[in-house]
Every structure is written in C-alpha cells, then in structure tokens.
Amino acid sequence: MAAPPTVVFDLDGTLVDTAPDLINALNFVLRREGLPAVPLQSARNMIGAGARKLIERGLELDGRRVGLDDITRLTNDFIDHYAAHIADESRPFEGIEEALDDLLALGCRLAVCTNKLEWLSKLLLDQLGLSSRFAAICGADTFGISKPDPAILRQTVARAGGELASTVMVGDAGTDIGVARRAGVPVIGVSFGYTEVPIADLKPDRLIGHMRDLPGAVASLRNILVTR
C-alpha cells in the first residue's frame, strides 16, 4: 500500500451508540400521536436509514400509516427533540477514541459517511469530542444522496482529500456493506451495531467485535488495497 488509507465510518451503531437518544426521540413523537412507546432493545435494529424511515417503522409497529404531510411534520418534531437531547445518553463505543488516534498516528485520513443529517452528525460528534479527528463529516443531505448509493461514499472520500483506491469502509449494517461493494471498496463490519440482518451474513471483508481490533483489521486489508 503506497500510502495509509482513508478510513470512512458509519456513525450510528459504528462510532457511537446513539440508540437511547434516537429511540427516546421516536417515543416522544409516538406518545404525542397517542401511540405506545417502543422498547429500546426491540427498536435498535430500526435505526440506520434516517429519521423519516425510523418514524415510519415506529408507526408500522402499531399498524399505523399516515400521509406524507404527517410524516414530514412528525420528522420535524423528531429532529427538534433529538437535536435538543442528542448526547443525553449517546456514547462512543468502547475503544473508539483509542482506535481513531491509532489510525491517525499511522497517517490514515478519517471521514464519516452517514444517513444522518450532516448538521446533526456534526452536533453529536462535537458534543462527544470526536469531530476534530475527521477530515470530512457527510450526511444524507450533504450531497442529496444516501447509502447505499455509492456516490455518497465517493464524494465523502473526495471531500476528505482521500483517494477511493485506498479507502476502507467501516460499518454495522447492510447499507454500509452495500455502499462499499458498489463503490468497489473493502469493508470492515462491526458486530455491535444496529442491523436486521446479522452483519456476518453480509460477508464483510473483515469482521470485528471491538474497536481495539480496528487498526489491525485496517492493516490486514493492505493486500486488498494494493491489488485493486
């Protein structure tokens, strides 16, 4: 590998355990609609496709369907509440700060590519003291496209100043595996995130169960990057 890679991370379920605050915001919206709250554990795997989809999934649990105007209203209410409580209970996954610092020490360029809104992503990472480590933080609204569309990954890498040929994706769910495969990028799956389909079943190039193993997993992809 001629140069250290650009390592691009998903956010929710990969860098940060955001489920408590996301589900609290969802339940705030559901209760206002007279619907029952959803339990945190059973709702964790509903996360990952953005706020609108999370609300739609929450409504579907009670057999409720609403029109586009109502979904937009509920999404706006959700975002307002979530932004005010974005780091009440959300915390970086164990070992992430050390792993990021180790990668930076090796000369890696780091970026975030998420289906969360960009300003919410930056707000969260700012409050958790993580944002300064990333050369780019891009969300679904940054380029008007979402994962698994490979264009969002390509443009995130470009904004970070990296090269797609030396990029590694890190994520917890099918959208992350999908965006990496479509962009022709090797991908590391994390087993502690939010996914309806077990991440091992999606066959990432490497699979880790703790962030302490991330630098080694990135290094082990050297041959894949060299031969691409």
List residues with catalytic annotation. Answer: 10
Element (H, E) at 2: none
Taking the C-alpha atoms of residue 138 and residue 2, their distance in angstroms, rounded to an integer, is 26
Q: Is the dihedral of CA 209, 212, 214, 216 positive or negative?
A: negative
Beta carbons within 8 Å of 161's beta carbon, 6+ residues apart:
109, 135, 136
The answer to whether 19 touches 44, Cβ cutoff 8 Å, is yes
The two structure tokens encoding residue 79: 């975002």
Nearest to 145 by CA among 180, 112, 114, 187: 114
Nearest to 197 by CA among 178, 216, 183, 223: 178
Give the per-residue SS3 of 132-177: HHCCEEECCCCCCCCCCCHHHHHHHHHHHCCCHHHEEEEECCHHHH
